[in-house]
């Protein structure tokens, strides 16, 4: 077909009035095989039961291709089903308007119109129907028309060679290129299909936008607003004075309807000035005595200001051991704890701080999140474990004294966003504390990083604060873009990992 002679291509719903032309087009597409076409009553039934599932592509008014489908309850279909089981003797009684999967029962392109990528248009239309109707996906039995040439192979071996481009199969290659993946081999699927030796591959496409219907109200969001607090280290008269400043910032970010308020690592360090006459290990243990009170107050603020609060981190004594910990205070009143897994050499040497052993993702009303404290962000294995649990946003509260220390956190955070296909938000402190030993100066530029793909900023920076200035940074992130990235990104860092060659595993499963 000379594409330059085409004046109009349109995709239209199939109607009974198209029947005679459809019959002729079907016979032409299937090589004139008798009984390869649908009867008029079949088309009448299909268009009445599910009109948006039956479409044709017309080129200058001529039917060039067709796609027919029904909706089924996938759990009600046997694993080893046949084509006849699906169409139920051409009565289509398996069509269920309340089903969860679109089942493709026919698709063809007339020979003279092949090569124009019209099949892709039909498949794309089916995907749109799935998304619009909130169906889990598309399934169908994919024929294996070249299998008769390779009967020495099992159907599974044949499919593997097709997938690796060792054998060309026009049907399976096309379906794989359109993001369909195999579920199982179906034996005796289509009676009389000698080219496929009556085998088929059950192919599936997953609708990444599918949401399971809920019986109760849900507040899970796709657009999430982050409020990062770039905290100024300064002297405070005491805990009440410090918490007044904390509430000021929570009030500020909640006024912008932020979903999260994020504080930096050791934001409560100014309270150590009272103990500066002590040795450093003693002073920080005195600071740890404030932690429980601060957490309780933050939990109250999260409820009253309707915002999820990430407390940055604070010292905490458990038994006789000192840890660097933080708390997630959800706006529903629940509280969860996280620990710094890798303390810095300075934390261990000066304060006697111990490595933590608690790593997990946290479910929130604004996505699944992970939290790594400062130095932990420089160890990619931790965030990879969190990504394997489905993390959408990684929060990194940090404290760095020099610009080179800050650069380590920043550059590693950006790498985590790319390799784990997630958002990363870093929040730090600025200023100085001349009356607190080992906490003299701070350098920070809080920021929100993204993967680097077409739906995101090309440099991977969603927003960033002014360096070394007390301020808040508010930024929106779209979780649905992550779902698209996982399946349709220019590269797929998560999916393309060679788990047959290497893996990241937990030794300590303590959560």
Distance between CA 67 and CA 198 in Å, rounded? 22
Residue 487: the pLDDT is 83
Same structural domain for residues 236 and 96?
no
Judgement on whether residues 228 and 302 belong to the same structural domain of the protein: yes
Within a domain: 212: no
Q: What is the pLDDT of residues 359-397, one digit of tens each?
A: 999 999 999 999 999 999 999 999 999 999 999 999 999
The one catalytic residue in 198, 316, 339, 340 is: 340
The answer to whether residue 280 is catalytic is no
Predicted local distance difference test score (pLDDT) of residue 455:
93
Residue from 66, 130, 374, 422 carrying the catalytic annotation: 374
Please check whether residues 316 and 256 belong to one and the same domain: yes
Catalytic residue among 265, 316, 339, 421, which?
A: 265
Q: Specify the CATH number for the domain of residue 227.
A: 3.60.110.10
If asked whether residues 300 and 393 sit together in one domain, one would say yes
Number of domains, the chain: 2
Last residue of a domain, one of 151, 173, 206: 206
pLDDT of residue 32: 62
Strand 308-310 with 447-449, pairing: unpaired
Task: Classify residue 236 as exposed, middle or buried by CB count within 10 Å of its CB (0-12, 13-18, 19+).
Answer: middle
Range of the domain at 92: 9-206
Tens digits of residue pLDDT in 53-68: 999 999 999 999 999 9
Please say whether the beta carbons of 187 and 201 come within 8 A: no
Say if residue 263 is in the same domain as residue 157.
no
Same domain? 428 vs 465: yes
Alpha helices in 58-185 (DSSP H): 83-87, 118-132, 155-163, 170-177
Residue 79: per-residue pLDDT: 83
DSSP string, 28-65: HHTTT-TT-S--HHHHHHHHHH-GGG-EEEEETTEEEE
Say if 3 falls within a structural domain.
Answer: no
Q: Is 374 an active-site residue?
A: yes
Among 206, 237, 263, the domain-final residue is: 206
Place of tokens 């009440």: 240
Residue 192 burial class via C-beta count within 10 angstroms: exposed 0-12, middle 13-18, buried 19 and up: exposed
Same domain, 117 and 72: yes
pLDDT of residue 508: 74
Q: What pLDDT does 478 receive?
A: 96
In a domain, 442, yes or no: yes
Element (H, E) at 335: strand 335-339
Among the candidates 146, 181, 206, a domain finishes at 206
496 located within any domain: no
Is the distance from CB of 453 to CB of 482 less than 8 angstroms? no
The pLDDT value given to residue 1: 61
The two structure tokens encoding residue 281: 């290990």
Residues 299 and 356 in one domain: yes
- Say what the pLDDT of residue 35 is: 67
- The helix (H) or strand (E) run that includes residue 478 is strand 471-478
416 assigned to some structural domain: yes
| Domain shared by 43 and 84, yes or no | yes
Residues 301 and 200 in one domain: no
Q: Is residue 42 part of a domain?
A: yes
Per-residue model confidence (pLDDT) at position 2: 65
174 and 235 co-located in one domain? no
Residue 497, in any domain of the structure: no
Pairing of strands 308-310, 260-262: parallel
Check whether residue 290 and residue 418 sit in a common domain: yes
- What CA–CA distance (Å, rounded) separates 497 from 486? 12
From first to last of its 511 residues, the chain has per-residue pLDDT tens of 666 678 888 999 999 999 999 999 999 998 866 567 899 999 999 999 999 999 999 999 999 999 999 999 998 888 889 999 999 888 899 999 999 999 999 999 999 998 888 999 999 999 999 999 999 999 999 999 999 999 899 999 999 999 999 999 989 999 998 889 999 999 999 988 999 999 999 999 999 888 887 655 555 578 999 999 999 999 999 999 999 999 999 999 999 999 999 999 999 999 999 998 999 999 999 999 999 999 999 999 999 999 999 999 999 999 999 999 999 999 999 999 999 999 999 999 999 999 999 999 999 999 999 999 999 999 999 999 999 999 999 999 999 999 999 999 999 999 999 999 999 999 999 998 888 887 878 999 999 999 999 999 999 999 999 999 999 999 999 999 998 999 889 999 998 999 889 999 888 766 5
CB 18 within 8 A of CB 58: no
Quick check: is 427 in a domain?
A: yes
Is 340 labeled as catalytic in the residue annotation?
Answer: yes
| CA pair distance 276, 283, nearest whole angstrom | 7
> What per-residue confidence (pLDDT) applies to 511?
56
Query: CATH number for the domain including 100?
Result: 3.40.630.30
Taking the whole predicted model, whether its pTM rises above 0.85 is answered as no
């Amino acid at each position: 077909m000379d594409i330059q002679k085409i004046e109009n291509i349109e995709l239209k719903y199939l109607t009974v009035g198209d029947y005679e032309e459809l019959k002729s087009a079907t016979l032409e597409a299937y090589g004139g095989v008798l009984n390869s076409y649908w009867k008029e009553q079949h088309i009448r039934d299909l268009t009445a039961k599910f009109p948006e599932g039956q479409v044709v592509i017309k080129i200058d008014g001529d039917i060039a291709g067709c796609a027919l489908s029904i909706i089924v309850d996938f759990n009600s279909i046997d694993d080893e089903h046949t084509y006849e089981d699906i169409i139920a003797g051409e009565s289509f009684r398996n069509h269920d308007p309340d089903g969860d999967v679109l089942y493709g029962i026919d698709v063809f392109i007339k020979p003279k119109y092949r090569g124009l990528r019209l099949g892709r248009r039909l498949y794309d239309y089916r995907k749109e129907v799935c998304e619009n109707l909130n169906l889990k996906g598309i399934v169908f039995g994919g024929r294996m028309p070249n299998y008769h040439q390779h009967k020495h192979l099992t159907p599974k071996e044949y499919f593997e060679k097709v997938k690796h481009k060792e054998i060309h199969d026009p049907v399976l290659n096309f379906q794989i290129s359109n993001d369909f993946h195999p579920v199982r081999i179906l034996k005796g699927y289509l009676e009389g299909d000698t080219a496929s030796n009556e085998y088929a591959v059950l192919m599936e496409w997953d609708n990444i936008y599918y949401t399971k219907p809920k019986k109760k109200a849900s507040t899970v969001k796709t657009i999430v607003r982050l409020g990062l607090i770039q905290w100024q280290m300064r002297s405070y008269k005491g805990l009440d004075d410090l918490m007044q400043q904390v509430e000021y910032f929570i009030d500020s970010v909640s006024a912008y309807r932020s979903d999260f308020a994020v504080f930096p690592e050791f934001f409560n360090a100014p309270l150590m000035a009272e103990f500066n006459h002590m040795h450093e290990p003693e002073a920080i243990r005195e600071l740890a005595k404030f932690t429980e009170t601060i957490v309780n107050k933050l939990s109250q603020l999260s409820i009253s200001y309707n915002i999820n609060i990430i407390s940055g981190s604070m010292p905490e004594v458990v038994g006789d051991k000192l840890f660097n910990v933080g708390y997630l205070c959800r706006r529903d009143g629940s509280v969860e704890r996280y620990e710094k897994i890798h303390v810095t050499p300075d934390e261990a040497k000066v304060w006697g701080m111990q490595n933590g052993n608690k790593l997990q993702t946290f479910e929130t009303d604004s996505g699944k999140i992970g939290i790594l404290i400062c130095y932990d962000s420089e160890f990619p294995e931790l965030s990879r474990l969190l990504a394997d649990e489905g993390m959408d946003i990684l929060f990194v509260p940090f404290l760095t004294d020099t610009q080179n220390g800050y650069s380590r956190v920043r550059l590693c955070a950006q790498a985590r966003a790319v390799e784990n296909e997630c958002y990363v938000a870093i929040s730090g402190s600025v200023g100085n504390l001349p009356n607190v030993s080992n906490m003299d100066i701070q350098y920070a530029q809080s920021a929100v990083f993204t993967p680097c793909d077409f739906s995101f900023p090309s440099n991977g920076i969603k927003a960033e604060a002014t360096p070394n200035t007390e301020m808040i940074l508010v930024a929106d992130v779209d979780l649905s873009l992550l779902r698209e990235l996982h399946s349709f990104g220019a590269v797929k860092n998560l999916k393309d990992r060679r788990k047959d060659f290497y893996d990241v595993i937990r030794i300590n499963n303590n959560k």
